[in-house]
Amino acid sequence: MGKCLRIIPNWAITLQLNYIFTVEFGHMKLTFYKYQGTGNDFVVIDNRNLIFPKEDGKLVSFLCDRRFGVGADGLILLENDDECDFKMAYYNSDGNTSTMCGNGGRCMVAFAKHLGIIDRKSIFKAIDGPHNATIEDGIVSLQMGNVSEIKIRPNSFFLDTGSPHHVQMVDDLEGFDVVKEGKKLRYGLYGEKGSNINFVTQFAEASFAMRTYERGVENETLSCGTGVTAVAIAMHSAAKTGQNEITVVTQGGELKVRFDKEGEYRNIFLIGPAELVYKGEIEC
């Protein structure tokens, strides 16, 4: 368990170990969990009793705010499902519902295990359909949807791995202005609906580094699971590697993508750690 904050009514802040993060803000008390997967962080709530007001985008945005709320790249609700172990409802930090989140899905599998809903194997429902997953020693292997179409542009690729992704190789990834160039492409090339924008460089035969400008967050995030998947598939399709297990290093850590190529890309698995940071309560 990491360090946790308790914020009291006069906004004085004390820092303690293994303490619940509490905010005196309003009238409804919510128990939440903070999870992260290679630095992609989420406010996670057990909503099996449907207490969370899902239509309240301002509340979602507040909870994800890093200055006045808990702080996260997105908010995820775990809910009951008649056909699967559970259902995942994902919201971007701007308060809007979003497409599939790979790192969020991996965190949800870890959360479901924490709650005792699953053991080692799971199948859960997300906005893009059911996903199989396994968890062992904190490493979650999440099956992603098949990829059948990759659009090739002069200097980039576009594909959908549960969320839309632009993939572009650059020479100096470390010095690259991800926010400036990502915002330019996100709106200029893809319009209001937009796309996530990934910049990538290769440093070994089956290893790549990437940075992502994520729509809905409207900033660079430390990692993006569907983006990692998109980078791996795009680089394989471009013959940058002949391997079917690819390592992708993000700003927040390392993930692996394994797949089969049978006409389309199938049996795609996003593999990496998902960790509980802390548990808390918030009144709002």
Active-site residue list: 101, 224
**Alpha carbon distance 270, 248 (integer Å):** 10
Contacts for 188 with CB less than 8 Å, ≥ 6 apart: none
Q: Mapped to the 3 state alphabet, what secondary structure does the chain carry?
A: CCEEEEECCCCCEEEEECCCEEEECCCCEEEEEEEEECCEEEEEEECCCCCCCCCCHHHHHHHHCCCCCCCCCEEEEEECCCCCCEEEEEEECCCCECCCCHHHHHHHHHHHHHHCCCCCEEEEEECCEEEEEEEECCEEEEEECCECCEEEECCEEEEECCCEEEEEECCCCCCCCHHHHHHHHHHHCCCCCCCEEEEEEEEECCEEEEEEEECCCCEEECCCHHHHHHHHHHHHHCCCCCCCEEEEEECCEEEEEEEEEECEEEEEEEEEECEEEEEEEEEC
- Beta-carbon neighbour count of residue 3 at 10 Å? 12
| Residue found under tokens 């005792």 | 116
